[in-house]
Amino acid sequence: MPALPRAFRPTLLLLLALPAALIALPARAVEVQRVVSPGGITAWLVQDDSNPMLSLELAFRGGAAADPADKAGLSRFVAYLLDEGAGKLDSEAFQQALADKSIQLSFDAGRDTFRASMATLTRNRDEAFRLLRLALTEPHFDPEPVGRLRAQLKARLESKSEDPDSIAGRQLWAALFPDHPYGRSPDGTAETLDRIQAPDLKRYVEQRLSRDRLVIGVSGDIDAKALASLLDETFGALPASGETPAVPDVEPSTKGGLIVVKRDQPQSTVAFAEPGIARDDPDYYAAYAVNYVLGGGGFSSRLTKQVRVKRGLAYSVYSYLAPLDHAALIVGGLGTQNARVAESLDIVRQEWRRMGESGPTAEELDDAKTYLTGSFPLRLSSTGDIASTLVGMQLEHLGIDYIDRHDALIDAVTLEQAKTVAKRLFDAGELTTVVVGQPAKVEATRPSPLPQG
């Protein structure tokens, strides 16, 4: 059953989309400490000395959505260059320093955040933090790596331009957010990448990577005292505040409709979405449980039973909540042979409508609750998972005791609440759908928002 939904969901969305990714382990397994350095820098820590390594995750609030429209892709451009020369090390020397100590360090940006992930063996801990500091505070942006990254980013754009999931995702987001930066891809375009020059990259680091926007999660072989001193050494030189442009809140389009992108492929790739529910909405957990019943629960979901198990229409069919900082979506997708797209879409719409009209049954809601509470600890299987969970908890203001409260939040969802939120959320008429392929008997009801091909 290799089944789990193959996601075109952006990685950085995962934490936001899946509150269950915010692990609830019994206190004896996970004790979250708030570490505040003498210089006033905060990190959340889960100490675990069972293996001589540690993982660190960090995020600066504000991501690609805050990039200037004419320089879309700027956040990612910066992210991929921070470890390409910093301090006294040029690009090759910096990479060699990481490799020689087996330090894993990477940066990336999503629509709402700019992030770093680091993992190191305990014995190379000081060097790892030193390299992280250099990358964040003294990056070079030398001509060779800047030119190289520009070529690589453009090559990646060309790859994605023929990847059905990427095509569907881009069109879908453009249709949902026609007048908002969420409608643009965080990758930018060849034209915007060409406009980005070293001064833009330098200014980005000075203006946007500031301490007031920084959250940090650490897990592994380090104690609070050692971490506190490393926090000051590593992040103390960052500016206290910066100038990240504000991104307005926005309502996703409710226009709905069907967009077809013609591409020569035997299986159509289908993506659909409509407005969702904010992460801090009181009904968020109810919505989360309802979505689990509809399309979030692997083999147990209604969509999987109807589309895959009963009719063999698709290998993967799914839906998930995608709460962003400035908007919220419910997103879904499937892939089915061109001849059966119409039938598959009918079933999705039927199930969408049925969930909106009647909500889940009592039994379905109970099953959702036992899954969501029971599976909560499974997500904390590594120090990296734990560290990114700690970052997600801080970004979403869930509180340091969230892990202990999670099960109660899920268990408190009532059937009535679930039905009410289902009615509020699931409206088949508002679904915007993108089909990439050569679907039979499917007519587009609106043009694609972005050029095709």
Partner 1 sequence: MRLTPRPLFVAFALFAVALAGLPPRPADAKVFSPTVYTLDNGLEVVVVTNRRAPVVTQMVWYKVGSADEPRGKSGIAHFLEHLMFKGTKEHGPGQFSAIVARNGGSENAFTTYDYTAFFQTVAKDRLPLVMELEADRMANLQLTDKVVLPERDVILEERRMRIDNDPGSQLAEAARADLWVHHPYGRPIIGWENEMATLTTRDALDFYGRWYAPNNAVLVVSGDVDPAEVRKLAEKYYGPLPRKDVPPRDRVQEPRHWAGSRVELTSAEAGRPSISVTYRAPSYHTAEPRERAYALEVLSEILDGSVGRLYRALVVEQPLAAGAGAGYDPDGLDGSSFAFWATPRPTVAVDKVEAALRAQIATLLDKGVSEDEVAKAKQRLIDQTVYANDSAGSAAHIIGKALTTGSSVADVEAWPDRIQAVTKAEVEAAARAVLDPVNSVTSVLRTKPTS
Check residue 361 for interaction with partner 1 (CB under 8 A): no
Stretch that binds partner 1, among 253-261, 264-272, 278-286, 418-426 (CB under 8 A): 264-272
Indicate which single residue of 105, 209, 247, 421 sits in contact with partner 1 (rule: CB under 8 A).
Answer: 105
How many chain residues bind partner 1 (CB under 8 A)? 90
Closest CB to partner 1 among 52 and 399? 52
Check residue 270 for interaction with partner 1 (CB under 8 A): no
Check residue 33 for interaction with partner 1 (CB under 8 A): no
Neighbours of 150 (CB within 10 A): 18
CA neighbor of 129 nearest in space, from 233, 33, 238, 225:
233
Residue list 142-181, contact with partner 1 (CB under 8 A): 144, 148-149, 151-156, 158-164
Q: Cβ of residue 26: shortest distance to partner 1, in angstroms? A: 6
Check residue 77 for interaction with partner 1 (CB under 8 A): no
Closest CB to partner 1 among 105 and 209? 105
Indicate which single residue of 32, 35, 53, 442 sits in contact with partner 1 (rule: CB under 8 A).
Answer: 53
Residue list 371-410, contact with partner 1 (CB under 8 A): 371-378, 380-385
Residue list 113-142, contact with partner 1 (CB under 8 A): 119, 121
Closest CB to partner 1 among 47 and 234? 47
Q: Cβ of residue 61: shortest distance to partner 1, in angstroms? A: 21
Angle at CA of residue 338, ends 333 and 344, nearest 5°: 45
Indicate which single residue of 312, 399, 429, 447 sits in contact with partner 1 (rule: CB under 8 A).
Answer: 312
Check residue 106 for interaction with partner 1 (CB under 8 A): yes
Angle at CA of residue 408, ends 403 and 414, nearest 5°: 145
Strands 53-61, 214-220: pairing kind = antiparallel
Q: Cβ of residue 363: shortest distance to partner 1, in angstroms? A: 10
Name the token pair of 331.
Answer: 């997103």
Closest CB to partner 1 among 92 and 126? 92
Q: Cβ of residue 261: shortest distance to partner 1, in angstroms? A: 11
Closest CB to partner 1 among 36 and 378? 378
Residue list 291-310, contact with partner 1 (CB under 8 A): 297-300, 305, 308-310
Indicate which single residue of 313, 329, 341, 428 sits in contact with partner 1 (rule: CB under 8 A).
Answer: 313
Which residue blocks in 108-255 are alpha helix, DSSP H? Answer: 125-137, 143-160, 164-176, 190-195, 198-208, 224-235
Q: How buried is 141 (Cβ within 10 angstroms: 0-12 exposed, 13-18 middle, 19+ buried)?
A: buried
Closest CB to partner 1 among 218 and 329? 218
Q: SS3 for 204-237, per residue?
A: HHHHHCCHHHEEEEEEECCCHHHHHHHHHHHHCC
Closest CB to partner 1 among 178 and 377? 377
Give dist(CA 239, CA 222) in Å, integer.
Answer: 26
Neighbours of 198 (CB within 10 A): 13
Check residue 3 for interaction with partner 1 (CB under 8 A): yes
Q: Cβ of residue 87: shortest distance to partner 1, in angstroms? A: 18
In the chain the first and final C-alpha atoms are separated, in Å, by 34
Task: Check if the beta carbon of residue 432 is closer than 8 Å to that of residue 330.
Answer: no
CA neighbor of 323 nearest in space, from 380, 428, 386, 252:
252
Check residue 195 for interaction with partner 1 (CB under 8 A): no
Give dist(CA 317, CA 332) in Å, integer.
Answer: 7
Task: Check if the beta carbon of residue 86 is closer than 8 Å to that of residue 97.
Answer: no
